[in-house]
Amino acid sequence: MSSTCSTFSFRSHGTIPQEFLKYKKQQRYRYRARKRAPLIQNLLIHPPTEMALFRNFFGGGPADPEEENGAELVERFVERVETCSAPEDRRDAIRALRSLAKKYRLAVGTMGMNSYVDILEKERMNHEILALVLDTLSAVLSSDDENVEEDELGERLAEVMLKRAGLVSSVLAAIEQFDFGVRRTAVQLLTSLLRHRGPEVQASVMGQPMGVSKLVDIVHDNREIIRNEAILMLCELSRSNAQIQQLLAYDNLFVLLFDVVDTEPLDSIVIEDCLFVTLNLLRKNAMNQQLFRENNLIARLGTILHSFLYGAEGETDEAVDTGEWAKQRTANVIFLLQIVRALVSPDNAGTNTHAAQKAIYQTKILAELCRVLLSEIGASVEILTESIIVVAESIRGNYTNQEYFASTTLITPDQSTRPSLLVLLISMTAEKQPFKLRCSVFYCFLSYLFDNEFGKTKIIETLLPSSQPENAVSTGALICQAISSSESVQCWFGCVSLMHCLYQVEHLCEQLLRVQLTVSSEGPSVSLLSHVSQLLTSMGNRRPQMRAGVLMLLGVWLNGSPQAVTSFVAKDENLQYLTTHIADECGEGSESEQQAIRGLIAFSLLVCLKSTEDKDARSSLEALIERRVGKEAVISALEGLSRTEQFVRAAQKPQPLAKQTNELFLDFHFVKLFKNIESSLVKQIRPTGEFNGTANNDSIIQSFKELIKRQDEEISVLKHEAKRAQTEITRLQQEADKSSLEKELEDVRAKLEASCSVQAHSESVSLQLQEAQRVAQQWYSEAERYKQWAAQWQSYQLAQIPNAAEVGVAQLQQQIAELEQQLSFGYQAFEQQSQSIVQYTNQNAELREAVSKLESALATKEREISEAKSSVAVNGHASNPEDQEEVTKLRSEQEDLLVLLAEQHNKMTQYRRTLKSLGQPVTDDEDE
Amino acid sequence: MSYAYLFKYIIIGDTGVGKSCLLLQFTDKRFQPVHDLTIGVEFGARMVTIDGKQIKLQIWDTAGQESFRSITRSYYRGAAGALLVYDITRRDTFNHLTSWLEDARQHSNSNMVIMLIGNKSDLEARREVKREEGEAFAREHGLVFMETSAKTAANVEEAFIDTAKEIYRKIQEGVFDINNEANGIKLGPQHSPSSPNSPGGNASSGLGGSSGCC
């Protein structure tokens, strides 16, 4: 069998990024940094004065102050933000904090938190400050480290921010503002928050009325920078929350994103972001997949894919060499392919996948992809690999698509055509092809066979003598060639491919027995079955991967055909091989691989037993197994298979997952078959015994399901209880708080009482003290008295002394004498005074007598005068010239007096009148 | 399938009034007596003909439980029509209509057509809310009213189609801005620019020979 063949061609360029997503992530951050650059410059240029001030602080730039100094600095600015009343000063302080935010993330983030939250809530109309605060917060959250995944500080700071109630709604309110700076920084902040605490932020966005809708609205913003920031934010918002994903889809995000894709150049990273969001919305979200189809978006996806593969319409008619595409364009195509794949993934609900497969066929996406596989686009290996996988999942289990795929052909330079299946197998068997590509091709071939009996039959038929055209390479031949290959993984690919042709189609197992191979040009032809079994026995205990492949093929084949068993068992060396190597523990390969091999051998043995219909043959085979191996050993080998890592890995996905060739060991569908028949295999040699393998899978799964259900219920009950207990605890705590308060109160009261009693005690003591003092005073006075008495007693005692008394008496007698003398003097004086008093009294009487005498003399004289006067008047004038003269004088005097009297009278009447006129009462007699 | 218009509907109302069953009856023409609680939202679609025009109805069936209320609210804005459903055998579901209506009016666009549906009309024996009460409520708040049974399919078609007719009438009157998809109305593909062109057959020659090395 020659192997001249065409295969997929791809241009290899330099290095092939192994992990596209990783690459993408790095790029994403790089991209973000690029976009941020103008902002930072802006900040540096815009406020020259503040920055100058700053440079002074830092002593001219690069000289970094200590972290502590930084914290102090930050504290000072925070204080300024809190206390300054002039808006400019506060703004400048915040600006300063913004410039410190990167360097002192912790300090800037925590110290100023109160002010930031305050400003976000209360100063919504002050755009400049608002934008600065938002920018500061997001600067604090993002680290410059390349290792963005593990930014613990950012995560903690985000947690602190989210503890502030209303922060998310403040940010959303800021996003609603049209101001460029505010909206952009607010979106960036939301992105950072989502990056650190996704689920929490998603939940609070959902909690806001129309929160999600408003966020979708900013994709409409015609300022490109904001639109792009919004898309970056949606990348985070759309992660792994089905409800948000549905809401985003409901708000027409698919269409919006595709509209953006249409306007961007093919190598724009914005496209990648758009597609990333789309992929998030579709992956494992059945409702969104349905909506995507309903809205005819698969067709639109096809148009976009076409323009990516061939350039925009009218640009060029020639196929583009993808090897020379910008990396970003390649990445964009990969994302487009992954979106298609998300729609048809075997992980989806069957109806969804089937409907999507149909749409992908109808919208000609399948044709497009087949063309990528088969024409000379020269796709890069990543694009080719991804396309093959998408084709695989697009045709898997869908007969129309499978047939369409098989009908496509590659036109070789010599104008002959080559069916796509052949191209697949040729690539699979080409050692030079990258392993990743061979794996995808293999998967595509298996997907073609899946649930496709007609396809399987056609492949087996190419091996049958009757239908074999001369000199043509057939699919069957290529498979057999692969099985015979000395390359381990190629043999494995071949065996598993052929196994899939036989899988669940018994008549093909019989058919395959007719196949004869000519191994060498001279030797006789041998049957395929004996060729395969010879291959097995010849390997001994080497080459575990090849043996695994062959044993799986044999297992399925023997399981499907009693006839095959008969011819297999007929050869002694076959049974010999199986019964010896089932116990071999020192073959090639890892321990787990050997365990898997032993399990596969046990499987083959038991399948042989099961498919032997002749009773005698059957019992002799059973006896042979019992004698050479032992029933229990066979069973334990069989059960061991499901415990190997190879088994677990293979059971996960229909797509073979392997980075290296030797990781391919067991096949997904073989594992399925094994699980199905394991218990029946065991039962035939241990009819009553207990079975504890994987099998009984359904019942086990059922029991697990029930267990899970029960546990679920239990969990919900427990949750409920926990909730209740929680409330109980809080209640109790409150109570406890209360009771502790009460206790405290009690304590205080007790103390109070104690101190009261102490006080009372002290009062009584002080009373006692006073009493005591009083008593003491009494005692003192008493003592004083006694002292006096003692003194008196002393003086008395002194007086008792005779000399002393004589002296005293003498003194006293002398005193008495003196006093008597004085008294006599007194008497003398008294005598003299009484004498003078008598004298004075006599004088007084004499004087009185003289006075009365004089008085009577005066009266007579007066009488004489009046008599004289009247006589004068009677005598008329001038009896006496002297008298005359005197009389005239008196008369003139009298007249003067009369005139005066008259005048007086007039005045008085006048006054009276005046008084009257003034209303003063004037008595009658006064009136006279 | 091409269509002239696409209308977005939502179905709202208390939990257990039969919202999901109404949708299932309308889209699949079947009744499922035991239905799980709707989590968040579910989605269904059907084509109807009004005035000779094909109209696609996309219907979002929301969860009635209080805990999903904030999610449900987010769906009001983008809808052109709403079916507000209560259960005629449960008075409380009727009593809650005011709060649902308030919610809807507050979060939706003002032109949204609201149809009041009294569901479970087959359970006449257990009726707690009189037909007249429903009518009065609808009259008072300017809604269209109908009693339906998702079980017997009575009036189910009518409920959805009459809502569509009302929306269509409003479009004809120019009340709706059909170019703004946020209103829940979208023009069909034949109105919009060309459908995707199928990739032309400009494939170059096969490449098999170029790597004859394996």
Please indicate, yes or no, if residue A177 is contained in any of the structural domains: yes
Indicate the residue among A449, A466, A494 that finishes a domain.
Answer: A449
What is the spatial distance between Cα A173 and Cα A125, in angstroms, rounded to a whole number? 11
Q: Tell me: do A283 and A229 sit in the same domain.
A: no
Same domain for A18 and A75, yes or no, is: no
Query: In terms of Cα–Cα distance, which of A326, A236, A318 is closest to A273?
Result: A236
- The answer to whether residue A48 is domain-embedded is no
Residues A226 and A84 in one domain: yes
Kindly state whether residues A301 and A361 are assigned to the same domain: yes
- What's the pLDDT score for residue A524? 74
Same domain, A181 and A207: yes
3-state secondary structure of B89: coil
Where residue A734 falls among pLDDT bands split at 50, 70, 90?
A: confident
Phi, psi (rounded to 5 degrees) for A71: -60, -40
Q: Is residue A801 part of a domain?
A: no
Chosen for mutation from B185, B211, B213 (greatest number of chain A CBs closer than 10 Å) is B211
From residue A56, alpha-carbon distances to A40, A49, A52, A527 in Å are 20, 11, 6, 91
Distance CA A484, CA A433 (A): 19
pLDDT of residue B77: 86
Residues A604 and A679 in one domain: yes
The verdict on a CB contact (< 8 Å) between A411 and B206 is yes
What whole-number distance in Å separates Cα of residue A207 and Cα of residue A227? 24
Residue A665 confidence (pLDDT): 92
For residue B105, give how far its alpha carbon lies from the nearest alpha carbon of chain A (Å).
13
Q: Say yes or no to pLDDT of A314 above 80.
A: no
Same-domain status, A581 and A700: yes
B188 and A CB contact within 8 Å? no
Beta-carbon-side half-sphere exposure of residue A665 (alpha carbons within 13 Å): 25
Domain match, A537 and A660 both: yes
Give the CATH number for residue A417: 1.25.10.10
CA distance B129 to chain A (A): 32
| Beta-strand pair A417-419/A409-411 | antiparallel
Verify whether the Cβ–Cβ distance A3 to B42 is below 8 Å. Answer: no
Structural domain ending residue among the three candidates A684, A707, A730: A707
pLDDT at A321 over 60: no
Confidence of residue A39 (pLDDT cuts 50, 70, 90): very low
> Chain A within 8 Å of B16 (Cβ-Cβ)?
no
Please indicate, yes or no, if residue A666 is contained in any of the structural domains: yes
**Interface contact flag, B207 A317, Cβ < 8 Å:** no
- Between A463 and B124, whose confidence is greater? B124
Contact B206 A6 (CB under 8 A): yes
**Residue type at position A325:** W
**Closest listed residue to residue A82, CA positions, set A47, A110, A114, A107:** A114
Residue A802 reports pLDDT greater than 80: no
Chain B residue whose CA is closest to A317: B202
The reported pTM is: 0.69
Residues A369 and A426 in one domain: yes
Task: Please judge whether B78 and A418 are an interchain contact, meaning their C-beta atoms are less than 8 angstroms apart.
Answer: no
Structural domain range at position A397: 252-449
Residues in B touching A413 (Cβ below 8 Å): 205-206, 208-210
Q: Is A294 within 8 Å of B107 when comparing Cβ atoms?
A: no
B157–chain A nearest CA distance, Å: 21
Report whether pLDDT(A261) > 90.
Answer: yes
Boundary-marking domain end, from A644, A676, A707: A707
The pLDDT of residue A462 is above 70: yes
For chain A, the domain total comes to 5
Q: What is the mean pLDDT of chain A?
A: 82
* Cα–Cα distance, A649 to A637 (Å, whole number): 19
Question: How many Å is the Cα radius of gyration of chain B?
Answer: 21
DSSP string, A415-445: S-EEEHHHHHHHHHH-TTS-HHHHHHHHHHH
**Same domain, residue pair A283 and A370:** yes
Is A243 part of a structural domain of the chain? no
Segment B97-116, tens digit of pLDDT: 999 999 999 888 888 999 99
Q: Report the DSSP beta bridge partners of residue B55.
A: B5, B48
Among A664, A172, A821, A378, CA closest to B210? A378
Contact by Cβ (8 Å): A95, A132: yes
Looking at the fold, whether A262 and A354 belong to one and the same domain comes out as yes
Asked whether the ipTM of the predicted complex exceeds the cut of 0.85, the reply is: no
Q: How confident is the model at residue B212 (pLDDT cuts 50, 70, 90)?
A: very low
Give percent of chain A above pLDDT 70. 84
User: How many whole angstroms separate alpha carbon A503 and alpha carbon A671?
Assistant: 12
Q: Compute chain A's Rg from CA coordinates.
A: 65
**How far B4 CA sits from the closest chain A CA (Å)?**
13
Is residue A771, in this structure, part of any structural domain at all? no
Other beta carbons within 10 Å of A277: 27
The answer to the question of residue A284 being in a domain is yes
Is residue B181 less than 8 Å (CB to CB) from chain A? yes
Cα dist. A178→A43, A125, A184, A215, A218 in Å? 20, 11, 9, 13, 10
Say if residue A170 is in the same domain as residue A93: yes
* Cβ within 8 Å of A, B 35-74: 40-43, 45, 56, 58, 60, 70-71, 73-74
Residue A704 has pLDDT above 80, yes or no: no
Q: What amino acid is encoded at A354 in this protein?
A: H
* Chain B neighbors of A243, CB-CB under 8 A: 40-41, 71
Structural domain contains residue A802: no
